[in-house]
Structure 1
């Protein structure tokens, strides 16, 4: 990415590794205008980020659990680009994600919340912004190594994905015992597998750019991803699990956020469709390479979000 003035759009910057990544990008690329898509009052965050790098930071109110809100947010960004209020789009960071303690939560659109936010909302963002992104732009989607489904990657805490047709995954009822934590975590790991399928399909369908990649931060204790978990689980994640960061099994929030910034800025050289595991390109799980599933995931997600995609 050149030093010319440009815009980077980002979700999930209000806390955790996203906020650290946003701060790193502001410090490393003060010429960039960072646009945060957030549902929160982010005035304090904007001031903090601007103080870091001296560059421009602004917020577009966005509720990722509403696809209409996502569509409206992209329109607001594009209107500002067309008017010259924002420089050209050179980056998109889809970092926001949710993990519930059940698989019963529905969005206003009637979709299962985990799949809606982790997959459908970001698909709408990618598709609506795609034609306006510079061919050399970088699009990064935060995924997770929970999609491997084994102890080495999940530490026995998150069940592996249970793949089903996307139409089922997108609605409540895809997993057994919907009201328990295991179902919520299964929905999470499965949504991350779906996101990787889409990244592979994006790379095939958009061969002339931009570059699209998945970013895996690894296991990152101390973030707020488990904020809806039980008290015991939250305490373990905040006070006990961070001890694992002295081993290769876990990543500190600071390192994970820095790696995400590197992935977004193109510091990590990666071909389109790549899986960036922390600071380097790696292979995702064997299950994540399935041409038929990738194509069907694209087709199903396109159908589910058809009312919010740009006209052909």
Structure 2
């Protein structure tokens, strides 16, 4: 699981171990979360930590190698779930990773893809993969109170570069990069469902608008204050979700408590339709191919069955 150190991820990790004490939870974390490990172990189950900095694709690849080594040496049971929950939102579209990618797209899309592709062959046949997405990929006030602009789609090769949006140093560009990255993540979930093993389940999970979390930690002081101290009042209305509920809903999605078909969009606690724009087979295929190319140097352990997955994809497309 990524993104378990704070916010809804931390709540979800706690909930998963409480609901399934036999679970061995592996945290992929950039920092040393000793306090989190102690907290989670108090809820039962086993917890391991593998270092992973999602802003470095080499670090992500190294983390998957460490996990695979643990599975193959019987240090871990078969992987029954993968939760790609980590995400970032910046105050501009100019933050660059060590790999030369725009940080929002790198963390929210590319890092998760490397995790999925490298770990796929080591997942239990009935495993569930959950990718945390966002209803900011919808356009309009109802989904995010107008705080985040809707996505501005471009070729993925452009989205992966810094400065892909107008006035790239602005907060609006940073937030547009976020909503666009979440649309790209949904496209990939659809492609995973098509191209990868039909026995495993790939779903996108939308927590809704969740004030009170640290997602806006890089925002300006006024926005941070509003998100932490004013916006939480909206959780008393249908317009927002409390961190506690969002975390529990994420745990339910990860544990399979929400019955969802392969490729589904789970909106908080139920399966729903994502935006009309998110169902575009041409964009989905283009996103897969571009992300595969951008991460090709980090997928070596996941390409052994490339021919098989492509053959399965062609069969699906012909149906």
Q: Which residue of 2 aligns with 1:41?
A: 32
Q: Which residue of 2 aligns with 1:126?
A: 116
1:211 aligns with 2:201: yes
1:72 aligns with 2:96: no
Q: 1:87 aligns with which of 77, 93, 107?
A: 77
Q: Which residue of 2 aligns with 1:4?
A: none
Q: Which residue of 1 aligns with 2:303?
A: 311
What does 1:1-312 align with in structure 2 at a 5 Å threshold?
A: 10-52=1-43, 54-309=44-299, 310-312=302-304
Q: Which residue of 1 aligns with 2:316?
A: none
Write the deviation string for residues 135-170 of structure 1: whole angstroms up to 9, x where unpaired.
211000000000002111121100000000000000
Write the deviation string for residues 259-303 of structure 1: whole angstroms up to 9, x where unpaired.
000000000000110000000000000000000000000000000
CA distance in 2, matches of 1:189, 1:41: 29
Unaligned runs of 5+ residues in structure 2 are 305-319
CA distance in 1, matches of 2:100, 2:183: 21
Write the deviation string for residues 199-218 of structure 1: whole angstroms up to 9, x where unpaired.
00110112423100000000
Superposition deviation, residue 40 in structure 1:
1.2
Write the deviation string for residues 166-217 of structure 1: whole angstroms up to 9, x where unpaired.
0000011210111110000000000000000000011011242310000000
CA distance in 1, matches of 2:205, 2:198: 21
The farther-off stretch of 224-233 and 199-208 is 199-208
CA distance in 1, matches of 2:97, 2:86: 16
Give the alignment's Cα RMSD to 1 decimal: 0.7
**Superposition misfits of 4+ residues, deviation over 4 angstroms:** none
Unaligned runs of 5+ residues in structure 1 are 1-9
CA distance in 2, matches of 1:79, 1:162: 40
CA distance in 2, matches of 1:110, 1:124: 16
**TM-score when normalising by structure 1:** 0.96
CA distance in 2, matches of 1:155, 1:245: 13
**TM-score when normalising by structure 2:** 0.94
SS at match of 2:180: helix
Superposition deviation, residue 111 in structure 1:
0.2
Q: Which residue of 1 aligns with 2:310?
A: none
CA distance in 2, matches of 1:208, 1:186: 33
State the number of aligned residues.
Answer: 302
